[in-house]
Amino acid sequence: MPKANETILEINLTSLEDNYHYLKSKIKNETKFLAVVKAFGYGSDAIEIAKNLVALGIDYLAVAYVNEGVNLRDAGIQIPILVLHPQPINFETLIDRCLEPSIYSPNICKQFIRVAEQKKQIDYPIHLKFNTGLNRLGFLRNDIDFILSSLKETNTIKVKSAFSHLAASEDLSEKEFTENQIQNFKTIASELTEKLGYQPILHMCNTSGILNYPEAHFDMVRCGIGLYGFGNSKKEDINLKPIATLKSIISQIHQIEKGETVGYNRAFKSESFLKTATIPIGHADGISRSYGNGIGWVTIKGKKATIVGNVCMDMIMVNITEIDCQEGDEVIIFGTSPSATEITASIQSISYELLTSVSQRIKRVFHRN
């Protein structure tokens, strides 16, 4: 790649492809692959990621909200799209754009049927979400009779899949809890299938579920973070490649004398001479203020430059006293090394949060190896 001359997020599509093939190798050939591209494809670019994955042969896409699905349809993507957390206000749009809702409560079920009836739908595909322990969204087992009686009264909807979501698939100390969730889902799925009289697609695993619970792959897996290059463990991070590299440049270098201060609120007071570099990226771009005052760092010429003072909206200042660098030199915020996982550890956060925080004003640049 040519040197960055402004802040950019580089997306390596070869790494995306490699991650996909690795994750595919973990599931049976007949198991369907759903790629999660919510939140702008985990902060990268949902459309570009989706197009590349469709070309690789994925079966399904998922987003969180209806507008995210609309963007994919506007870009010409035609494969089925599951909307994980739709709101009733958007049900008409959802149907108009052939998006498929997760139906997660009796209230949502009733409201969706009402809209589907108004729009004269027949057998509109829906996905029933069951709560098996995450306690976030989903029906309980004892809602099955309500669901069945709702389905009996209408021919507008048809259950295409039934699914649940694991609460701690990455945490092997919670194995017993996870196995209990899986068992719970099996019980729900068999009761539902028996009462429906046909077999919906069953799915439960996110990335860490794919890697840690092969017995729970069912008919389809829902993969997000793994495609973007993170395995939620040291062991699996080795097998995956972060697709996104956040790069910037040095805008200006300052010589700070002993006793001077740097940045807003004069948060940094110099105790000896130092050199700082100002970098055009700030908290509006996803660099949380929590990284300020020596907590976070960037990489310049392979060396760590820690953040000096408070993170500004559009800039950070970093300590380059010991680094031989010039204005215009490249700066790495995260990428393959240091990865988003390493960077976020300093503020007790996770890769997911940093990736999805990269602001939309930062240009995405795509490349292959």
Ligand X SMILES: *Cc1c(COP(=O)(O)O)cnc(C)c1O
Q: Which residues are catalytic?
A: 38, 264
The C-alpha atoms of residue 19 and residue 338 are separated, in whole angstroms, by: 18
Preceding peptide of 338 cis, ω within 30°: yes
Residue from 11, 225, 320, 323 that binds ligand X (CB under 6 A)? 225
Q: Which CB, 125 or 224, lies closer to ligand X?
A: 224
The C-alpha atoms of residue 127 and residue 103 are separated, in whole angstroms, by: 6
Residue from 19, 206, 212, 310 that binds ligand X (CB under 6 A)? 206
Residue from 35, 128, 201, 223 that binds ligand X (CB under 6 A)? 223
Phi, psi of 182 (to 5 degrees): -65, -45
The CA–CA distances, whole Å, from 303 to 1, 89, 338 equal 20, 50, 11
Q: Which CB, 35 or 315, lies closer to ligand X?
A: 35
Both tokens assigned to 129: 């979400």
Residue from 11, 23, 49, 84 that binds ligand X (CB under 6 A)? 84
Residue nearest ligand X, CB atom distance: 224
At closest approach, how far in Å is the CB of 15 from ligand X?
16
Query: Does 86 engage in binding with ligand X (CB under 6 A)?
Result: no
**261: three-class secondary structure by DSSP:** strand
At closest approach, how far in Å is the CB of 64 from ligand X?
7
Which alpha helices (H) appear in the chain, and where do they start and end? 13-24, 38-43, 46-56, 66-74, 91-96, 106-118, 144-152, 175-196, 207-212, 234-237, 340-345, 351-357
Is residue 278 a contact partner of residue 254, using CB atoms and an 8 Å limit? Answer: yes
How many Cα atoms within 13 Å fall on the side-chain side of residue 59?
A: 14
Q: Which stretch binds ligand X (CB under 6 A): 89-97, 219-227, 247-255, 284-292?
A: 219-227
Contact positions with ligand X (CB under 6 A) in 7-36: 36
At closest approach, how far in Å is the CB of 224 from ligand X?
2
Q: Which CB, 90 or 207, lies closer to ligand X?
A: 207
Q: Which stretch binds ligand X (CB under 6 A): 109-117, 218-226, 251-259, 355-363?
A: 218-226
Q: Which stretch binds ligand X (CB under 6 A): 51-59, 220-228, 268-276, 354-362?
A: 220-228
At closest approach, how far in Å is the CB of 285 from ligand X?
22
Query: Does 224 engage in binding with ligand X (CB under 6 A)?
Result: yes
Is residue 57 a contact partner of residue 79, using CB atoms and an 8 Å limit? Answer: no
Query: Does 222 engage in binding with ligand X (CB under 6 A)?
Result: yes
Residue among 290, 283, 296, 289 at smallest CA distance from 332 = 296
Residue from 127, 165, 241, 247 that binds ligand X (CB under 6 A)? 165
Is residue 178 a contact partner of residue 144, using CB atoms and an 8 Å limit? Answer: no
Q: Counting every residue, how long is the chain?
A: 369
DSSP calls for 131-179: -SSS-SS-B-GGGHHHHHHHHHT-SSEEEEEEEE--S-TT-GGGHHHHH
**x/- letters, 31..70, toward ligand X (CB under 6 A):** -----x-x--------------------------------
At closest approach, how far in Å is the CB of 105 from ligand X?
15
At closest approach, how far in Å is the CB of 300 from ligand X?
31
Q: Which stretch binds ligand X (CB under 6 A): 182-190, 224-232, 252-260, 356-364?
A: 224-232
At closest approach, how far in Å is the CB of 204 from ligand X?
9
Q: Which CB, 36 or 115, lies closer to ligand X?
A: 36
At 41, which amino acid appears? G
Residues that bind ligand X (CB under 6 A): 36, 38, 84, 165, 206-207, 222-226
